[in-house]
Structure 1
Amino acid sequence: MTYVASADRYESMPYRRLGTSGLKLPAISLGLWHNFGDDKPLQTQRDVLRRAFDRGVTHFDLANNYGPPYGSAETNFGRIYSEDFAGYRHELVISSKAGWDMWPGPYGFGGSRKYLLSSLDDSLQRMRLDYVDIFYHHRPDPETPLEETMAALDQAVRSGKALYAGISSYSAGLTLKAQEIARSLGTPLVIHQPSYSILNRWVEEGSPSLLEAAAQAGMGVIGFSPLAQGMLTSRYLDGIPADSRAAQHKSLDTDLLKEENIAQLRELNKIAGARGQSLAQMAIAWALRDQGAASVTSVVLGASSVAQLDDNLDALGNLEFTADELKAIDTHSGVEGINLWKGATESVTA
């Protein structure tokens, strides 16, 4: 059946400006890191994408190596896009990234001009697009000068293959250096995508913190893994389900699910219940809470079903927190080892 988007798709989703740019993102974006590879039914993927857009999610976030196997999320998205969403291209923000390993040999990872621009061409082909709205460097590369990486992003934008440039998992100091170079080239970075959740608060640390540095640099922040790879849901409150990420060893180490951490999750779940929210909904709302100039613009969420997507989007019904709620959440926040991307933020040649 031909897809026709819901006529009221823009009535309930809040849209937030990305830093000092002219681009706005929905408060919740759909990430295709999991659930869009060849291990999931294409019809389920189609249903989730359609439902997301019908509820005002205009941003679909991908990367070259999303799958499994690598590249398959972009390929599957490209097929669904061409059949369902091509007529809505001007209403969509589609992003991709390169930086982590993608193909064998010395040119299939990192931050070199050769890798980034080759990967962008491949991503466009897989997704059946002429351009992406945002192209990111997925993580810092200690072996490539920062000037070269920023010049590659600049070239991607000037070529018309990307409209905006961004970075992911850069430290606060590196973010400021990258923005300085990018501005000198004439293509300022508009967005930073770090991991961020109640249990993974590294972006709040330091002076300036990453959130503060991004605001100082005029960049928006879109947080990924606001549910801490699934820990901040009800799935692990009573054990490890067989079909969970932890059981399948997908980005969540079972060592993190020790009793002292589960006890924290149960306390957070009580706070959520008192707010009339699920644990996942509260975690999403917390990441989107008002932090003044250092507020997060959007969060990236995955969804394995329409029901899960709807439940997560319903978090937007209550984004306000009392001082007592925030204090109680602080008491039960932080898990050692939850930030899988910590090493990626280390300094690079500049």
Structure 2
Amino acid sequence: MDTFPAYRADDDRYSTMTYARAGASGLKLPRISLGLWHNFGDTGDRRTQRDMLRAAFDNGVTHFDLANNYGPPYGAAEESFGRHFAADWRPYRDELLISSKAGYDMWPGPYGDGGSRKYLVASLDQSLQRMGLDYVDVFYSHRRDPETPLEETMGALDSIVRAGKALYVGISSYNAADTLRAAEILRELGTPLTLHQPRYSMLDRWIEEPGANGSDDDRSLLEVLDATGVGSIVFSPLEQGLLTSRYLDGIPEDSRAGSDKRYLTSDNLTPDRLAKVRALAPIAEGRGQTIAQLALSWVLRGGRVTSAIVGASSVEQLLGTVAAGSAPDLTAEEIAAVDEALTATA
């Protein structure tokens, strides 16, 4: 069994991070949140996991984002977090925001996937057991299940809050029309929809586009979130590492993309996409930022996005991205320069 020195949080942990209110709720999130999608499964080094979690909290990152099937194997990230929580975090539980999700495949059979009440409630019970928690701060429907009535999925989220297993509820990757209906159902039930977690980056701007992802609403997802008072916390703001300098000369063998072909491959690293990333470099340099920090400042620009979820494989990498949480907002000139850079071609 691994043993580590006792942890005491940095007294200055709230001195630099900026926090933003999630929509019309009373909940505040750090502008940068730590996602445990990668590097917290059984293949991750436990000492590195511990060091990243400690460094995050010591720098004001209070929100840790998980899901039932984060690993590998499924459930392993929650188990890893549970071990570190028991060792380090229990005295700080009321300073933490811990989220989990269910919606994709988790266990065999008809009840281990989708948006049914049966699956969502059972999955959260399992997640709480893996993490050693009485409740999560936010629980998400991870995807819109077209085979389950939206009323049932939202009703399950409402009952989860009423049972004391979650404080707030959210949805992930729902289009604008389904988001609007989900917010209406939850409002009627008395459990407001607090957060939407979509994918969003400089290179994936679907949440700005009316009618995206099959929506029959004539507004964009961002417009619906503004209208309904729902906050947003975006994932993949760095496009799995593409919006950094790491892949400008190919895929390093020691990178995640070099060993795991599920997320970033040579098919994604096209000359045109790399040309756009290179064109961002002088803008970032002018702000005293890295390309990754600029990409994070961009998704957070103007305050419409509440928080951006980042992953990390080392403390150094984590601290580099966390610094974007306290960076000045982009100016109109810088936003225009980014838009011009994104038209670059090889």
Report TM bin, short chain: over 0.9
AA at the equivalent of 1:204: E
Q: 1:238 and 1:254 mapped to 2: Cα distance? A: 11
* Contact 2:22–2:231 (Cα < 8 Å) also in 1: yes
Q: TM-score, normalised by structure 1?
A: 0.92
Q: Does 1:322 align with 2:334?
A: no
Map 1:150-229; keep pairs closer than 5 Å: 150-206=154-210, 207-229=218-240
The equivalent residue for 1:272 is: 284
Q: 1:226 and 1:311 mapped to 2: Cα distance? A: 14
Q: Does 1:300 align with 2:309?
A: yes
AA at the equivalent of 2:320: D
Provide the secondary structure at the position in 1 that maps to 2:161.
helix
| Aligned residue pair count | 332
Q: 1:58 and 1:11 mapped to 2: Cα distance? A: 13
* Contact 1:60–1:93 (Cα < 8 Å) also in 2: yes
Q: 1:322 and 1:56 mapped to 2: Cα distance? A: 25
Q: Does 1:112 align with 2:97?
A: no
Map 1:1-350; keep pairs closer than 5 Å: 1-206=5-210, 207-247=218-258, 248-290=260-302, 295-333=304-342
* CA displacement at 1:334 relative to structure 2: 8.2
Alpha carbon RMSD of aligned pairs, Å? Answer: 1.3
* CA displacement at 1:318 relative to structure 2: 2.6
Deviations 1:191-223 (CA, angstroms, capped at 9, x unpaired): 000011111111111142111111211110001
Q: 2:275 and 2:230 mapped to 1: Cα distance? A: 36
Query: After TM superposition, what 4+ stretches of structure 1 lie above 4 angstroms from structure 2?
Result: none
Deviations 1:234-292 (CA, angstroms, capped at 9, x unpaired): 1111111112233221312320111121111111122212222110010011111115x
* Contact 1:199–1:334 (Cα < 8 Å) also in 2: no
* Between 118-127 and 322-331, the greater mean CA deviation after superposition: 322-331
* CA displacement at 1:322 relative to structure 2: 2.5
* CA displacement at 1:118 relative to structure 2: 0.4
* Contact 1:63–1:74 (Cα < 8 Å) also in 2: yes
Q: Identify unmatched segments of 5+ residues in structure 2.
A: 211-217
Instruction: Name the CA shift for 1:201/1:302 in 2 (closer, same or farther; >3 Å).
Output: same
Q: 1:84 and 1:324 mapped to 2: Cα distance? A: 44
Q: 1:153 and 1:21 mapped to 2: Cα distance? A: 17
* Contact 1:237–1:266 (Cα < 8 Å) also in 2: yes
Q: TM-score, normalised by structure 2?
A: 0.93
Q: 2:150 and 2:326 mapped to 1: Cα distance? A: 41
Provide the secondary structure at the position in 1 that maps to 2:34.
strand
* CA displacement at 1:115 relative to structure 2: 0.5
Q: 1:153 and 1:317 mapped to 2: Cα distance? A: 33
Provide the secondary structure at the position in 2 that maps to 1:240.
coil
Q: Identify unmatched segments of 5+ residues in structure 1.
A: 336-350
